[in-house]
A = this chain, B = another copy of it.
Amino acid sequence: MTTKRTVVASPASQTIGWTREFEAPAPRVFEAHTDPDILPLWTGPAGTTLEMREFDARTGGCWSYIVRAGNGEGWAFHGSFHEVTAPRRLVQTFEYEGEPGHPNIEVIEFEDLPGSRCRLSGLSVFLSVEDRDAMLGDMDKGMDENFERLDGLLAGR
């Protein structure tokens, strides 16, 4: 089954809202977002590896990783875990080190659905409409690719 992500990104708004359903219960999908051994298995574009530097997924913790390409290039990201309340809510800040001073905050709610499924509802809030617009496109599409990799992982593939 293909599950599509719905995205709401109104003009002149500085937020991106999205929902995405998964064929697994919320606790498993929450774990995939917060376990440093599982996150690298589904995060990052095809052909890259995720080099974890720090990853302390608890309220008040922080995280840092590099998306590493085969040719050695890398893109570094880091942020804080404002709230980690398993298996319901995850609130993180997120910054791309190539664009310092432009962090965003993302709230993801994990909701159980019948049939051992779940729905994630995400809201990313940026410092400005411009920052939000810059994220739409490639980065946002990257989330779809990541979630497809996660589908496979959850299905045991």
| A interface, CB within 8 angstroms of B | 14-15, 54, 59-62, 64, 78-83, 89, 91, 93, 95, 101, 103-105, 107, 123, 125-127
Contacts and interface: CB of A to CB of B under 8 A. Distances in A.
Task: Tell me what chain A mostly uses at the interface: helix, strand, loop, or mixed.
Answer: strand
Nearest to A62: B60
Identical copies in the complex: 2
Contacts of A62: 59-61, 80
Contacts of A80: 60, 62, 80-82, 93
A60 B78 CA distance: 9
A24 to B, nearest CB: 24
A60 B103 CA distance: 13
Contacts of A95: 82-83
A83 B100 CA distance: 10
Contacts of A78: 59-60
A7 to B, nearest CB: 17
Contacts of A14: 14-15, 125
B83 A103 contact: yes
A101 to B, nearest CB: 7
30 contacts: A14-B14, A54-B60, A59-B62, A59-B78, A60-B61, A60-B62, A60-B64, A60-B78, A60-B80, A61-B62, A79-B82, A80-B81, A80-B82, A80-B93, A82-B93, A82-B95, A83-B95, A83-B103, A91-B103, A93-B93, A93-B105, A101-B107, A103-B107, A105-B105, A105-B127, A107-B127, A123-B127, A125-B125, A125-B126, A125-B127
